[in-house]
Structure 1
Amino acid sequence: MMSVADAPDSQINTTGIPPVVLTSELRKVYRTGFFLNQKVVSLKSCSLKVYKGETFGLLGPNGAGKTTLLKLLLGIIRPTSGRGLLLGRPLGDRTVKERIGYLSENPCLYDYLTAWEFLQLAAGLFQIPKKVQRQRIPQLLELVGLSQADARKKLLRRYSKGMLQRVGMAQALINDPELVFLDEPMSGLDPVGRYQMREIIVTLKASGKTVFFNSHILSEVEQLCDRIAILAQGELISSGFLDELLGTSNVYHVKGQGGDWEILKKWVPNLEYQPNGSWLGEVQGDAYDFLASLRLMGGQLIAMNLSRPSLEEFFVQQIQRHNNSQRIV
Structure 2
Amino acid sequence: MWAIETRDLTKVFRTLTGKAVTAVSGLNLRVPVGDVFGFLGPNGAGKTTTLQLLLGNMRPTRGTAFLFGHPVGDPEIRRLVGYLPEKFQFHDFLTAEEFLDFHARLHGLPARLRRQRVDAVLEFVGLQQRRRSKLREFSRGMLQRLGLAQALLNEPRLVILDEPTSALDPLGRRAVRDLIVQLKAQGVTVFLNSHLLSEVEMTCDTVAIINRGRLLFQGQLRELLQVPTQLDIRVQNPSPQWQRIAAAFGEIVAVNGDVLSVRTRDENAVPDLVVALVNAGARLLSVVPKRLSLEDLFVQVVTDERR
Q: Name the TM-score, length of structure 1 as normaliser.
A: 0.72
Establish whether residue 135 from structure 1 lines up as the match of residue 113 from structure 2: no
Pick aligned residue for 1:174 from 153, 178, 189: 153
Q: Contact conserved, 1:21 with 1:49, CA < 8 A, in 2?
A: yes
Q: Which residue of 1 aligns with 2:180?
A: 201
Establish whether residue 85 from structure 1 lines up as the match of residue 69 from structure 2: no
Q: Which amino acid aligns with 1:219?
A: S
Q: Which residue of 1 aligns with 2:203?
A: 224
Establish whether residue 49 from structure 1 lines up as the match of residue 12 from structure 2: no
Per-residue deviation, 1:113:
1.4
Q: Contact conserved, 2:229 with 2:291, CA < 8 A, in 1?
A: no
Pick aligned residue for 1:121 from 90, 102, 114: 102
Establish whether residue 63 from structure 1 lines up as the match of residue 74 from structure 2: no
Q: Which residue of 2 aligns with 1:271?
A: none
Q: Which residue of 2 aligns with 1:96?
A: 77
Per-residue deviation, 1:93:
2.1
* Residues 165-195 of structure 1: per-residue CA shift (max 9 Å, x gap): 1111000000110000000111201111100
Establish whether residue 320 from structure 1 lines up as the match of residue 300 from structure 2: no
Per-residue deviation, 1:316:
0.6
Q: Which residue of 2 aligns with 1:32?
A: 15
Q: Which residue of 2 aligns with 1:186?
A: 165
Structure 1: 5+ residue stretches without partners: 1-17, 253-283, 286-305, 325-329
Q: Which residue of 2 aligns with 1:239?
A: 218
Per-residue deviation, 1:218:
0.7
Q: Contact conserved, 1:205 with 1:211, CA < 8 A, in 2?
A: yes
Q: Contact conserved, 1:123 with 1:133, CA < 8 A, in 2?
A: yes
Give me the whole-angstrom Cα distance separating, in 2, the residues matched to 1:147 and 1:87. 32
Give me the whole-angstrom Cα distance separating, in 1, the residues matched to 2:21 and 2:137. 40
Give me the whole-angstrom Cα distance separating, in 1, the residues matched to 2:128 and 2:227. 43
Q: Contact conserved, 1:247 with 1:308, CA < 8 A, in 2?
A: no
Q: Which amino acid aligns with 2:211?
A: A
Per-residue deviation, 1:249:
8.1
Q: Which residue of 1 aligns with 2:280?
A: none
Q: Between Structure 1 and Structure 2, how many residues are aligned?
A: 253
Q: Which residue of 2 aligns with 1:144?
A: 125
Q: Which residue of 2 aligns with 1:21?
A: 4
Q: Which amino acid aligns with 2:65?
A: G
Per-residue deviation, 1:160:
2.6
Instruction: Map 1:147-166; keep pairs closer than 5 Å.
Output: 147-148=128-129, 150-152=130-132, 154-166=133-145
SS at match of 2:28: strand
Give me the whole-angstrom Cα distance separating, in 1, the residues matched to 2:171 and 2:59. 37
Per-residue deviation, 1:84:
1.4
Per-residue deviation, 1:242:
1.4
SS at match of 2:79: helix
Give me the whole-angstrom Cα distance separating, in 2, the residues matched to 1:146 and 1:48. 35
Per-residue deviation, 1:89:
1.4
- Which protein shows a greater Rg? 2
Per-residue deviation, 1:250:
9.7
Per-residue deviation, 1:233:
1.2
Give me the whole-angstrom Cα distance separating, in 2, the residues matched to 1:38 and 1:156. 44
Give me the whole-angstrom Cα distance separating, in 2, the residues matched to 1:68 and 1:238. 18
Q: Contact conserved, 2:227 with 2:292, CA < 8 A, in 1?
A: no
Q: Which amino acid aligns with 2:75?
A: R
After the TM superposition, which of the residue ranges 306-315 and 218-227 deviates more from structure 2? 306-315
Instruction: Map 1:7-18; keep pairs closer than 5 Å.
Output: 18=1
Q: Which amino acid aligns with 1:162?
A: G
SS at match of 2:42: coil
Q: Contact conserved, 1:23 with 1:46, CA < 8 A, in 2?
A: yes
SS at match of 2:210: strand
Structure 2: 5+ residue stretches without partners: 232-266, 269-288
Give me the whole-angstrom Cα distance separating, in 2, the residues matched to 1:244 and 1:60. 18
